[in-house]
Amino acid sequence: MTGDDHTPPDRDHALPDGDLSLDRWLGEVRVEEAARSRARVGALRSHASEDATVIGVLADLAERAATAVLTTTSARRHRGRVVVVGADAVVVEVGPDEWLVVRLAAVASVRMVGGEPVHGEGSVTTTARFGRILARAAAPGDRLRVVVGGEAIGGTVVSISAEVAVLNLDGGDVCYVNLGAVEEVSLRAAS
């Protein structure tokens, strides 16, 4: 401040040498603190990514109601909103009245569609496993496309238990599908 009028000093005037040293020192301290801050943030991100799991990533996406692209080990790609994550399966809403139930072991990659990255530390949204999730989601008359052993089988649901899906195939045959061997199921609700 200058004089008794309480006005700030003129910024165009040169600072005394002692003030330049102080400014230089403060600048160095700020640079060092910024570097330490970036290192802490990097360490936190690294720690989060070290603890990431596929279940955690999918659960984080479900919490955000985020859209993702899942690629399966059989090279199928599915785009939709992650809605349920179990211990061994994920449910993705791929369209109106259409869902995909994929066994986690068959998920090769998960690609986010927009949005901020997730930490991948979320928890399952249900304790139900693949067979129970499918049995609760599919009703008699719903249309299923089941991928098992690299083959796609299509038909309408007769019944589903936690272990076996009974389908009326398009050709009229009845098929009993071992759900323990199924990689993924596309489900369309009956009209």
State whether residue 91 is helix, strand or coil: strand
Q: Find the range with the poorest average confidence among 99-103, 113-117, 176-180.
A: 113-117
> pLDDT tens digit string along 15-56?
445 567 667 777 777 777 777 777 666 555 554 567 889 999
Average pLDDT, stretch 183-188?
94
Strands (E), 8-150: 67-72, 77-85, 89-95, 98-103, 107-112, 143-148
pLDDT at 5 over 70: no
Q: Which residues make beta-bridge pairs with 82? A: 92
Domain boundaries, the chain: 15-50, 54-188
- The pLDDT assigned to 144 comes to 95
Residues 110-118, mean pLDDT to the nearest whole number: 89
C-alpha closest to that of 78 among 102, 52, 57: 102
- Give the per-residue pLDDT at 40: 63
* 49-103 tens-digit pLDDT: 678 899 999 999 999 999 999 999 989 999 999 999 999 999 999 999 999 999 9
The CATH T-level fold of domain 54-188 is SH3 type barrels. (2.30.30)
Residue 110 tokens read as: 């998960």
* Spatial distance between the Cα atoms of 3 and 5, rounded to a whole number of angstroms: 6
Beta bridge partners of 152: 147
Residue 108 has φ and ψ, to the nearest 5°, of -85, -40
Q: Looking at the predicted structure, is the pLDDT value of residue 159 above 80? A: yes
Q: Cβ–Cβ contacts within 10 Å for residue 173, how many?
A: 9
